[in-house]
Amino acid sequence: MIKTIKLHTAVFWILIFAVVVAAILFLLFFDSSNFPSVFASGKSDGPVLVIDAGHGGEDGGAVSLSGVYESELNFDISQRMAALSGLTGIEFIMTRDSEDIEYPAELKSTSKRKKYDQKKRVELINGTTNAVLISVHQNFYPHKSPHGPQSFYSEIEGSDTLASLIQESMNMALYPENRRIAMPVADNIYLLKSVKCPAVLVECGFISNPEESSLLETKSYRLKIATVLISAYLKYLDTNE
């Protein structure tokens, strides 16, 4: 059972060090293609991290310059977040455990199936006590120049704090020259506008940018992203004890 306690700065950095060590071990031994299809920790009364791998099923999302679907990158990063959560004792669930999504047979169109999937995710999140949502995505722009990760937060209290911590961590560890800041999520993002818990959407990078797309397609960089997100979440738990 997780018990959220106020951590002194030294203890917090010990936790961060533990996450980094765990990340190195996973970099050596972890293969997401062999990861269990269902990976969720036991129930507790403490905060529950909801790891949402954006898109999936018939909704592949954007496509990288080399032809990799965004949903695949999102899912791989989310699996690594789940693995690190298990190692560090974070209570968590995932909104999907596969690239495949089962849809009701009566839903014949892709748009209806996408809406069904989004509603099911909202039901899962809103049905989870003490949930905190991190939704993993990749950015895309018609031109190749935009780059850098960015976090977006919902209007629910605590969301802006988590988004800022994630943004600061990403800027420091992934993209020191990045000048992007945490921003309110757009009104047309159904998931974050529908959930009732602190929620952040993370655009891990631009798969329309050649250099960034190449990075995102490496296991080591995706593992680094997962480590940064989990570290920021740990700091959020400490800040919001």
> What does the DSSP assignment read for 49-96?
EEEEE-SBTTB---B-TTS-BHHHHHHHHHHHHHHHHHHHT--EEES-
Of residues 168 and 16, the one with the higher pLDDT is 168
What per-residue confidence (pLDDT) applies to 40?
Answer: 56
For range 221-234, the mean pLDDT: 98
> Does position 30 have pLDDT exceeding 90, yes or no?
no
Counting every residue, how long is the chain?
A: 241
pLDDT digits (tens, 9 = 90+) for 171-206: 999 999 999 999 999 999 999 999 999 999 999 999
CB atoms within 10 A of CB 11: 12
Share above pLDDT 90 across residues of the chain, in percent, rounded to a whole number = 80
Alpha helix (H) residue ranges in the chain: 9-29, 70-88, 110-126, 159-173, 190-194, 210-216, 219-239
**3-state SS, residue 166:** helix
Share above pLDDT 70 across residues of the chain, in percent, rounded to a whole number = 81
What per-residue confidence (pLDDT) applies to 239?
Answer: 87
Residue pair 148/208 in contact by the 8 Å Cβ criterion: no
pTM of the model: 0.85
> Does position 104 have pLDDT exceeding 90, yes or no?
yes
pLDDT digits (tens, 9 = 90+) for 89-100: 999 999 999 999
> Does position 5 have pLDDT exceeding 80, yes or no?
no
Of residues 11 and 193, the one with the higher pLDDT is 193
Tokens of 99: 């690239």
Average pLDDT, the chain: 88
Residue pair 44/2 in contact by the 8 Å Cβ criterion: yes
Using CA atoms, how far apart are residues 193 and 155, in angstroms rounded to an integer? 8
Domains belonging to the chain, first-starting first, are 9-239 (3.40.630.40)
Tokens of 129: 């006590």
